[in-house]
Amino acid sequence: MNVGELAAGVLAGDRRALARAITRVESARADHRREAQALLAEVARAGRQALRIGLSGTPGVGKSTFIEAFGMMLIAAGLRVAVLAVDPSSARTGGSILGDKTRMEFLSREPMAFIRPSPSQTHLGGVARRTREAVALCEGAGFDIVLIETVGVGQSETVVAEMADLFVLLLAPAGGDELQGVKRGIMEMADLILVNKADGDLKRAAMRTMADYAGALRLLRKRPQDPPGFPKALCVSAVTQDGLAGAWAEMQALVTWRRETGHFAGRRAEQARHWFGEEVRQGLLARLDTPDARAQMADLGRAVAEGRIDPGVAAARILDGLPG
């Protein structure tokens, strides 16, 4: 299938074409890269937009159970749902952990859904670009909601928050009074904290955890992109589905407010600017990743270590010699 046919398939909402298109943007081959860029340009012309929801949580909090239940609820409301995964850790395990179809049994059989497991990965910079481009392709394919799932480890949350319109943090009920070691930076990114497993014996602990986080959120610096009451902490149960409709209502309320106040478009504009800068930085780094440049780096590194040349002068020598 050539680029034109692939783009037409994506724009027609054909899931097989979409899967192939994503495989194309995931390829590191230079000719594929060029095709991917042409494909993205073609698809972008349709100007379609989905609501991009980032979802993060540590393994075991119930991400796949939540996405299955939440996704089915959205589909019942007539929305088309795509699920993408960002999982830099799968490079270590060699397999895909997130977005696995077997984890979302019902959703994966839905014609209104598209689930893309995370590819086994190299480095975060690559993951970010590939996921961003996959999001763009899903938007072109007419999905209303793109859920971007990530495990709550490392820097992947930041990457996801930087490409999502809404960032949702999923937590499990805590036993004690600790704030579960959730880093402040992650709390600051969250628009909604959902304490999952608020059912049965865990319900009381979930309520307590929710109250703790609601308190912690109130102490955070006020962000201009939030209406009163946000960011918010809520209890949900992915298993009983209690609270899911409420969580969706809160997300919609937040999005509506941000659209009306210009913050929605403003955030997207900021994100586009951020990714542009990242692409330039990644591109520059890639130019240093040639045998010649590596050898020169090693030589000059030694010279710097031995005090034969000043670090700044050595760096300038490398940078000035980079191919244009």
Residues at the interface with ligand GDP (CB under 6 A): 57, 59-65, 196-197, 199-200, 202, 237-239
Beta-carbon neighbour count of residue 111 at 10 Å? 8
- Give the nearest distance from C-beta 68 to ligand GDP in angstroms: 8
- Give the nearest distance from C-beta 230 to ligand GDP in angstroms: 23
- Give the nearest distance from C-beta 317 to ligand GDP in angstroms: 49
- Give the nearest distance from C-beta 152 to ligand GDP in angstroms: 9
- Give the nearest distance from C-beta 101 to ligand GDP in angstroms: 13
Whose CA is closest to 6, among 39, 55, 45?
39
Distance of CA 203 to the CA centre of its chain: 29
State which residue, 153 or 313, has the beta carbon closest to ligand GDP. 153
State which residue, 25 or 194, has the beta carbon closest to ligand GDP. 194
- Ranges assigned E (strand) in 244-305: none
In angstroms, what CA-CA distances link 296 with 289, 292, 299, 303?
Answer: 11, 6, 5, 11
State which residue, 63 or 130, has the beta carbon closest to ligand GDP. 63
- Rounded CA gap, 46 and 97, in Å? 32
State which residue, 59 or 229, has the beta carbon closest to ligand GDP. 59
State which residue, 57 or 231, has the beta carbon closest to ligand GDP. 57
Which residue has its beta carbon closest to ligand GDP?
A: 62
- Rounded CA gap, 308 and 315, in Å? 13
Nearby residues of 275 by Cβ (< 8 Å), 6 or more positions away: 128, 129, 132, 162, 163
